[in-house]
Amino acid sequence: MTHIPDSILTQPLSIYAPALSTFAQRFEMFANRVEATMKIGADQLTIADFVNQRRSYENRQGVAVIHVNDVLAQNTTGIDRMLGMTDYEQIKQELVQAVADPAVTSILLDISSPGGSAIGAPEAAQAVADANAAKPVVSYIGALGASAAYYLASASSAIVAQPSGLVGSIGTVMKFFDVANMLQAVGITPHIYTPKQSDLKAAGNSMRHPTPAENDWLQSHVEEFNAEFINFVSSKRKKVPMDAMRGQVFGGRQAVQNGLADFTGNFDFAAQTARDLVSSRKLTA
């Protein structure tokens, strides 16, 4: 069975749901390729053969490019990052670096991500907003900028979307496996004891059905994260209607029509937009 890091599955997610199965498949593919390659020779194995590794901060003619890559999470491990995941702390640190760099006049978030953990996303989005107050920040959404990745993008001055890309998926989800029926079918009955005062201590345990109290608590937990997400987007992207924040994704052109993005275009157009915003801010200062 493919192992997905606990840092992803044990917390509320702000992720484009279909991407989670793809993420799991990558881990399985990685394990299979490692096994096959080791039979041939370890010297032929490179991580680049398996994943789209995150690139580091770079300055392109005054535009600091910060890569928001793959699944996003807080407190990731070295293996997680090696497999392409981005830690929110990496983004925050590079934003601080860009703001402090006198050779940088604007910032471009290069986003290719389905989102990830809801924990850490609000703080990272606020870091984008703080950086945007100092220097113009533009977000470029290529193939996918969804959920937590869009959370970050919404704090920028402008969003440029690839016409065929996917944008949005504003929402929060929590998942866990309920294998109670399977255990019952093979004659296994789990016994889980919690203090009467701590009746929610075992919420999310996969070995039994959730109790009504646990269902209510889990739902309220998701609602809390989701409300914070929607309120933040609404404050930064005032043209986005509530009907466009139901967890769905939009193509690039639809994203512009619904206020989730400002323009359609490619990476170079987004970089030029970032440079243009520097001039427009000087004129209005």
The pLDDT assigned to 24 comes to 58
Kindly report the CATH number assigned to the domain that includes residue 146. Answer: 3.90.226.10
209 in a structural domain: no
178 in a structural domain: no
User: What is the percentage of the chain residues whose pLDDT exceeds 70?
Assistant: 80
pLDDT per position as a tens digit, 69-89: 988 999 888 877 877 789 999
The residue range of the domain holding 259 is 6-172+239-284
265 in a structural domain: yes
- Identity of residue 85: M
193 in a structural domain: no
Q: Residue range 89-98: average pLDDT?
A: 97
- Give the predicted TM-score (pTM) of the model: 0.82
Q: Residue range 273-284: average pLDDT?
A: 83
Burial level of 38, CB count in 10 A (0-12/13-18/19+)? Answer: exposed
* Domains held by the chain: number: 1
212 in a structural domain: no
Residues 6+ apart with CB under 8 A from 49: 33, 37
In contact, 227 and 220? CB cutoff 8 Å: no
The pLDDT assigned to 23 comes to 56
The pLDDT assigned to 225 comes to 92
pLDDT per position as a tens digit, 151-191: 999 999 999 999 999 999 999 888 778 888 888 899 988 88
223 in a structural domain: no
